[in-house]
Each structure stands twice: as C-alpha cells, then as structure tokens.
Amino acid sequence: MPSVKRTPEVTMDKHAIYRHQGLGGTSGIGHKCALVLVDFVNGFVDADQLGGPHIAAAADRTVPLLAYFRAQGLPVVHTRVVFASDGADVNIFALRVPPLQKLTEQAHASQIVTPLTPEPGEWVIRKQSASAFFETGLAGWLLQRSVDTAVITGCTTSGCVRASVVDAMQHNLRTLVVSDCVGDRALEPHVANLFDMQQKYADVMTRDEFITQHQAITACT
C-alpha cells in the first residue's frame, strides 16, 4: 500500500511549523532601552468604555517598571488617543470605532491613568491611529536619544500594542513586549497576539524577567 505524502502543515502542530520554518528568533536587548506606554488612559481601563479590568491590572503592574526606567534615567514616552473636539481629524479608524471620537483633549477618558502620570520631560504623544509610531515622530525621538531597544507596555495587546510592536521592529528597533504589562478587553486575542509577536517581531517576557535581564546587561545604559 503506497504511503501518502503528507505536508508538514498537516503533520505538525503550530509551534512545530514555526520552528521548522525558522521563526521564533530573538532580537535581544541592545545598548539603550526606552519605555513606551501605549494608551494607558482612563477610557481603556473601563469595561463600559474601551477596555476592562485586565488592562487595569496591566497598568498596575507597569508602575514599578516605570519607576525602574525613571531610576535608570532612561527615556519614557506615553501615548494618548486624542481627537479634535470639532471632528476635524476624524479618520477611518474613528469612523469604524466611533467611541474613539470621544477621546478629546479634555475628556476624562483620554487622560493617562493616575498611577502612571507622566513626569516632566517624558514625552506624551497624541495619536489618532493604532501604532504609536504612525505619523507621530516617535522613531526620530528615539533616534535622537540613541535608543536601539523599545520596551512596549500598554493596551490593547491585540490593537495598539500589536500595531506599535510591528512598527517598532519595522523602524529597526529591537523590540520587547512585557507580557504582564500589556492587557486587552478579552483574553483570547491577548494570547493569540502575544504568540504572533513572539514568533515574528518581538521578544516577549514578563516584567521581572526583563528587569533581571536588563540589570545583568550593564552595556544597556
């Protein structure tokens, strides 16, 4: 009886296929890290607006990480989604997801959550798209500070975090996602996107794993 030629896709599970094809590498930590806090604003920790308690927990876990970056004197950047109150810059994103249009400059929902309040000198980016890098000047801001590694936290994992991570890598930054400092409105997309990012774009590790590794690398200062 002739043997059937089975394709790798059929005989392997997801992880085996990715390994077989050479994905799942690492880009590591470089010479200088910056912390990017994506959209940790009031509207995204509220399940009745655009977020949920999983994101609130991620914000809480980010507080010591922010303190660590501040203690090291490393660059910190926060993003907020902010649309003009007269609708002048409503884009396709805000037409598809209308609650975004409520995130105006003065709205409570668009203010950064209190425990992560920016300090003077930390850059607060107002953005209208998913990625923290899209038309914001963030790549140039990091280049000016000789940053080669972006450490990404925030929300949502499957939305603005994922988009920011892809762009960070596309701008040739070594990119890290802090798995317990990113959150989402539902768990399934959170998990699925961490898998995608780890396989292709970014190293994924917990906050404490990052701090431990970073402390071990004295070159990264």
Which residues form the catalytic set?
A: 160
Stretch that binds its own copies, among 64-72, 109-117, 137-145, 213-221 (CB under 8 A): 137-145
**Does residue 93 bind its own copies (CB under 8 A)?**
yes
Pairing of strands 123-127, 76-81: parallel
> What's the rounded Cα separation, in Å, for the pair 95 and 186?
22
**Does residue 86 bind its own copies (CB under 8 A)?**
yes
Binding residue for its own copies (CB under 8 A) from 146, 206, 212, 215? 146
Sequence-distant (6+) residues with CB within 8 A of 140 are none
Q: Between residues 134 and 208, which has the closer beta carbon with respect to its own copies? A: 134
3-state secondary structure (DSSP) of residue 45: coil
Binding residue for its own copies (CB under 8 A) from 63, 67, 97, 216? 97
- Sign of torsion over alpha carbons 13, 188, 174, 138: positive
Per-residue binding string, its own copies, 19-38, x by CB under 8 A, is: -xxxx-xxx---x-------
Binding residue for its own copies (CB under 8 A) from 34, 38, 103, 130? 130
Within 63-82, the residues that bind its own copies by CB under 8 A are: none
Q: Shortest Cβ distance from residue 98 to its own copies (Å)?
A: 6
Sequence-distant (6+) residues with CB within 8 A of 59 are 40, 45, 113, 115, 116, 155, 183
Q: Between residues 170 and 215, which has the closer beta carbon with respect to its own copies? A: 170
104: left (phi over 0), alpha (psi -120 to 50) or beta: beta
Q: Shortest Cβ distance from residue 197 to its own copies (Å)?
A: 10
- With beta carbons less than 8 A apart as the criterion, state whether 75 and 147 touch: yes
Q: Between residues 44 and 208, which has the closer beta carbon with respect to its own copies? A: 44
Q: Shortest Cβ distance from residue 108 to its own copies (Å)?
A: 17
Residues paired with residue 53 on neighbouring β-strands, in sequence order:
none
Q: Shortest Cβ distance from residue 140 to its own copies (Å)?
A: 4
> What's the rounded Cα separation, in Å, for the pair 124 and 39?
10
